[in-house]
């Protein structure tokens, strides 16, 4: 399988990239980035880096770039910010879905019928709120904006269900540093509903790329359970 990752230069996207490379069944990983990946991230024959300088102007992306990626089987969208950047947190991912699906539907391969749907996996969050009218105690605008993205992503998949499916992952607080003492304390205090290790997120997403999920929304506790099992099996 060929998978695209947007946001691989970030901490979470980088962890997803690492786990995707290790996953059996994933034969190629293309990191779509605005700036080149560090050399340490692409020292694997599975990994290729394709630069898209401006996700806000997809019309300028050359045809040869689209040709490199439009035969992919899945895309993981892990680009995002914690501020009110409407472009990054809403407009870019929605525009990319539109542009990619248009290419997908127009390709000769898809006119003849694909053997499987294209899988779009969106990194969301446990505190993201889809109800735009609900009163929130903290970060209300940011949480509603990302909730709107999740809602529109699922609506887009339904409108293009012949060729497209969407999965929304909702991790809680993501911990980096492996089995560090502070991570173990945090996991004990917050439990599997609110805390998850970065490698568990990565392993879960890599598995979703290959196998999908029964339900379109995957919560933190399910990700912890799946991620731990996958990592143990890989040892």
CATH code (residue 178)? 3.40.50.720
Name 188's bridge partners. none
Q: Work out the average pLDDT over 183-193.
A: 87
Q: What are 108-161's pLDDT values in tens digits? A: 454 444 567 999 999 999 999 888 888 878 777 888 999 999 999 999 999 999
Query: What mean pLDDT value characterizes the chain?
Result: 90
CA distances from 173 to 63, 93, 189, 195, 200 (A): 39, 22, 12, 5, 12
Residue 53 belongs to what domain range?
A: 2-234
**In the predicted model, is pLDDT for residue 175 greater than 60?**
yes
pLDDT in the model for residue 132 = 83
pLDDT in the model for residue 40 = 64
C-alpha span between 45 and 82 (Å, rounded): 33
Q: What are 30-89's pLDDT values in tens digits? A: 999 998 888 766 678 899 999 999 999 999 999 999 999 989 999 999 999 888 899 999
- Alpha helices (H) in the chain, listed in sequence order: 11-22, 63-69, 86, 92-106, 108-111, 140-159, 181-190, 198-211, 220-234
The tally of domains found in the chain comes to 1
pLDDT in the model for residue 98 = 95
C-alpha span between 175 and 162 (Å, rounded): 37
For tokens 């003492």, name the residue. Answer: 181
pLDDT in the model for residue 91 = 96
pLDDT in the model for residue 143 = 86
User: Max alpha carbon distance in the chain (Å)?
Assistant: 54
Look at residues 122, 78, 124, 67 and name the one whose alpha carbon lies nearest to residue 100.
67
Look at residues 95, 89, 6, 22 and name the one whose alpha carbon lies nearest to residue 59.
95
């Amino acid at each position: 399988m060929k998978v695209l990752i947007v946001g691989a230069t970030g901490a979470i996207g980088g962890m997803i990239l690492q786990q995707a490379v290790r996953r059996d069944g994933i034969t190629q990983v293309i990191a779509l980035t605005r700036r080149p990946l560090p050399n340490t991230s692409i020292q694997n024959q599975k990994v290729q880096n394709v630069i898209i300088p401006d996700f806000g102007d997809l019309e300028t992306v050359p045809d040869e770039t689209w040709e490199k990626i439009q035969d992919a089987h899945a895309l993981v969208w892990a680009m995002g910010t914690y501020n009110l950047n409407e472009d990054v947190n809403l407009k870019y991912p929605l525009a990319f879905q539109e542009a990619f699906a248009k290419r997908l539907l127009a390709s000769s391969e898809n006119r003849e019928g694909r053997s499987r749907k294209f899988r779009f996996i969106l990194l969301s969050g446990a505190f993201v709120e889809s109800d735009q009218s609900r009163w929130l105690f903290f970060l209300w605008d940011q949480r509603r904006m990302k909730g709107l993205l999740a809602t529109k992503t699922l609506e887009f998949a339904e409108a293009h269900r012949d060729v497209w499916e969407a999965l929304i992952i909702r991790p809680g607080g993501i911990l980096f540093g492996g089995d560090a003492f502070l991570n173990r304390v945090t996991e004990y205090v917050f439990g599997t509903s609110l805390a998850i290790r970065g490698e568990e997120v990565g392993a879960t997403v890599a598995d979703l790329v290959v196998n999908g999920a029964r339900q379109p929304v995957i919560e933190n506790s399910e990700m912890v359970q799946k991620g731990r099992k996958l990592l143990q099996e890989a040892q």
